[in-house]
Amino acid sequence: METMLAEPSKWDEFLAGYELFRDPLLCALIAGGVLGFLSVYVVLRRMVFVSAAVAQSAGLGVALAFFASIHLGINVEPVLGATAMALAATLLLMTEPTKLRLTRESLLGLAYALAGGAAVLVGDRIAQEAHDIQGILFGTAVLVTPEQLHTVAIAATGVMVMHLWWYRGITFASFDRIGALVQGLPVRLLDGVLMVSIGVMVGVCARALGALPVFAFSTLSAIAALMLDLRLPWTFLVATLAGAISGVGGYMFAYFYDFPVGGSQTVLAGFLVALAMAVRSLMGLVQKAR
């Protein structure tokens, strides 16, 4: 009698290859959570396009690292290139635009367009790494190396320790700058810590996950949390959870339904915003009914 063997389900395949998926899932969890936390500052300080420009610059940094290695014989770690360019863009955007006779929007547009265009040009000269460049810009990479996971984990730990330690000062200086100056807080130092934190996290996470999902984590997580009208500490917590859910949930969705990872994580982050809007509308209807 011939025995029919049932094909393993997608879930069975996932469990069998869990060790292969463990690192990208952990990386998505850590990156999504920390970028979700920082997204509250990004959105409330109206710096959404700062995040986009810094993420795009990180992509350019990776492309330049490949270019230096292939054409100049200079071995530069791509994560160093991403972090350096992300920090350079962050420092540029911290300058007072009126000194350059520009508006803030003009400076942001310049940084975003210049970094994006340069990444395309550099990518055209490193055809053998074109797939990696696509993965960095749009988050199509499925695997995360142990080195990338360690780098993201170390950067995330440093950023979170600093932000939890200086939480009151950074939030005070971010949302009531004049009051913080009157109280004698080092506002420029606190601003610098915040901007460098964003630059470092965007740089290392863009190398591991791609610029598109990094931008989504660092903006949409806070937008979803702010929809719920919570107190500030709860807003930070919900934004952190939203980022982590977008990272892990998006990866799982991409695996089970064969979609690109970065696009899935970005769409899930957007779906959480829509869900928060629905919850807010429902809460409004309940309050009116009372």
**Mean pLDDT (whole number) for 96-118:** 79
The pTM assigned to this predicted structure is 0.84
Burial of 198 (0-12, 13-18, 19+ CB in 10 A): buried
pLDDT over 60 (residue 95): yes
Please write the tens of the pLDDT for every residue from 37-62. Answer: 999 998 888 777 787 888 888 888 88
Please write the tens of the pLDDT for every residue from 187-217. Answer: 889 988 998 898 889 888 887 888 888 889 9
Question: CA–CA separation, 75 vs 85, rounded Å?
Answer: 16
- The pLDDT value given to residue 18: 80
103 phi, psi to nearest 5 deg: -90, 165
- Please give the share of the chain, as a percent, with pLDDT higher than 90: 31
pLDDT over 80 (residue 22): yes
pLDDT over 70 (residue 129): no
Report yes or no: 265 and 250 within 8 Å, Cβ to Cβ: yes
- The pLDDT value given to residue 224: 94
Please write the tens of the pLDDT for every residue from 173-191. Answer: 888 888 888 888 898 899 8
The pLDDT confidence band at residue 245, using thresholds 50, 70 and 90, is very high
**Mean pLDDT (whole number) for 118-147:** 71
Question: CA–CA separation, 85 vs 69, rounded Å?
Answer: 16
pLDDT over 90 (residue 220): yes
Please give the radius of gyration of the chain, using alpha carbons only, rounded to the nearest integer: 21
Question: CA–CA separation, 280 vs 257, rounded Å?
Answer: 30
Report yes or no: 204 and 154 within 8 Å, Cβ to Cβ: no
